[in-house]
Structure formats: C-alpha cells, structure tokens
Amino acid sequence: MAKVDSFEFIKFLKKMLDEKDLVLSFSAHKMGIRLDGDKIKVWLHEKGFDEAETDEEISYKLSIFSKIILNLLNGKEINLIVIKKEFIDEDYNKIRELLKDNFINEPLKQDYALESSAKNSLLKRLEWDILNKNISTDKFALLKFYIENTGIEEEKTFLIEFNLNKIDELIKELEKVKEGLKK
C-alpha cells in the first residue's frame, strides 16, 4: 500500500488554509482541525490513492500535525514515542519545520492565545447576506454570528439585521475596539 507523503500533504493543507477550507481552533490543551473532507477526497484521488486505504493514515497524520503545531505554539517538543513509524516515516524535524514555516504566524499565535484562555463565548465565524424588505426598497444586511461557548462544543447562532446606518455605527465601535487593542 502506498503511503501519503507528509510533505505533499502539508502543502495541500496549507493551500486549504489559504483558501479558507481549513480552520484551526483551540481550547485549553487541544487543537482542532475543521476541513472540507470532499477536497481531501479529490486530492487523494488525483494522487492515485484509495480513500478507504488511506483514511486511517490521513486521520493519524492530522492528529500528529495538530500535536506538533500545538507544541510549536507552546514552545514544546512532541514526544517522538507517540509517532507511529508506519505513518510518519519521513524525517520528523523536516515535518516540524515545514509545519512551522507554513502554519505558525502572528495571527495564529494571537488566535491561540485568545481561544486557549477564553472564559467567555468566542465568535467562530460570520456569514452575511444583503436582502430587500418587501415593505420598502431599502436594503438591509442579515448577519449570522456563529458563537462557541468555551468549554462546551455546542455552537450557537445569532441572526441580526442591520441597515446602512447601523453598519456605520458598528464599524465606528469596532474601530475604537481595534485602536484599544493596539495600545
């Protein structure tokens, strides 16, 4: 059975991250990777792999990569004893450096610091749409906030409608928050 090359897989994961098809999330002592499983299936097919034969290997590599990234953020080394040689047969130090070069950056460090120590709810993502009300020709924005409570895996959703004036007010307040964080 052919093995999935870790270096190629890391480059593919970085491409998914850049295209917003992969999200790294953190809690107190763990890291999660949310990704588009269909894109992995397509990638595996393009590389000539059978998904069923590589499922365990891919899951394991994602687990090990998560641990390495988390340890890089914590300034620690991963215990090499936990790595199964049948799945990670490439040079660990090269894998670690490739993960460091492709994933560890200032925004990720800031997200890690916030998410791993948060005591309140966190905004996980935001979606929006522009709609017209039937009663007038005025447009309004419908914003959908996905909120995750710390310590609880359940995600809550809030829908809020904004007109242009309310969006301007929100932007002004967020600019003040941004300036406060820069100080």
What Å distances lie between residue 109 and 17, 27, 71, 113, CA to CA? 15, 13, 12, 6
Question: What pLDDT is attached to residue 78?
Answer: 64
Question: What pLDDT is attached to residue 160?
Answer: 92
Token pair, residue 72, equals 């890089």
Q: What is the dihedral of CA 118, 157, 144, 131, to 10 degrees?
A: -170
pLDDT above 90 as % of the chain: 16
More confidently predicted of 60 and 160 = 160
Q: What is the dihedral of CA 91, 72, 23, 125, to 10 degrees?
A: 180
Q: Tell me: pLDDT of 71 over 80.
A: yes
Question: What pLDDT is attached to residue 159?
Answer: 92
- The whole-number average pLDDT for the span 6-24 is 88
